Chain A
Amino acid sequence: MKIPYYPGCTLKTKAKDFEDSAIAAARVLGIEMEELPRWNCCGTVYSLSSDDLIHQLAPIRNLIRAKEQESDRLVTLCSMCYNTLKRANEFFLADEEKRERIKRYLDDEIPYEGDVRVVQLLELLRDEVSMDAIKEAVKKPLTGLKVAPYYGCMLLRPASIGIDDVERPTVMEDVLRALGADVIDDPYKTECCGAYQTVSQKDVVATCAHSILTSAQGNGAEVIALSCPLCDFNLDNRQKEVQERFNGFHPMPVLYFTQLMAIAFGLDPSVCRFELSYNDPVPLLKSKGLIE
Chain B
Amino acid sequence: MKIRLSRERVRGDFVKKVEMISGQDLLQCYQCGKCSAGCPAAFEMDILPSHVIRLAQMGQEEELAQANSYWICFSCQTCTVRCPRGVDIAKIMEALRLVTLRQKNRNKVEATGLPPELLAELPQIAIVSSLRKLSG
Contact = CB atoms under 8 A, between A and B. Distances in A.
Name B's interface SS: helix
Nearest to B19: A50
Name A's interface SS: loop
Interface string B40-74: 11011000000000000000000000000000101
B26 interface: no
Contact of B40 (A9, A45, A208): A208
Given A43-B128, A195-B129, A48 B134 contact: no
A130 interface: no
A44 interface: yes
A80 B129 contact: yes
A157 B80 contact: yes
A51 interface: yes
Interface residues on B, range: 35 or more
Q: Which of B75, B123, B132 has the most CB of A within 10 A?
A: B123
Interface in B98-136: 98, 108-109, 114, 118, 121-130, 132-134
Interface in A33-48: 41, 43-45, 47-48
A124 interface: no
A48 B44 contact: no
A248 B74 CA distance: 27
Interface residues on A, range: 35 or more
Interface of B: 20-23, 40-41, 43-44, 72, 74-78, 80-81, 88, 90-91, 93-95, 98, 108-109, 114, 118, 121-130, 132-134
B40 A237 contact: no
12 contacts: A9-B125, A9-B128, A44-B125, A48-B88, A50-B91, A153-B78, A192-B40, A194-B41, A195-B74, A196-B74, A208-B40, A229-B125
B123 A233 contact: yes
Contacts of A279: none
B95 to A, nearest CB: 6
Given A198-B126, A204-B41, A237 B121 contact: yes
A229 B129 CA distance: 12
Contact of A196 (B22, B40, B129): B129
A50 B90 CA distance: 12
A15 interface: yes
A51 B21 contact: yes
B44 A201 contact: yes
A267 interface: no
Contacts of B114: 199
Given A157-B78, A191-B40, A49 B94 contact: yes
Nearest to A15: B123
Contacts of B122: 14, 198-199, 233
Contact of B133 (A9, A45, A232): A45
A10 B134 CA distance: 20
Q: Which of A47, A50, A229 has the most CB of B within 10 A?
A: A50
A13 interface: yes
A4 to B, nearest CB: 20
A197 B109 CA distance: 10
Given A49-B22, A157-B76, A44 B129 contact: yes
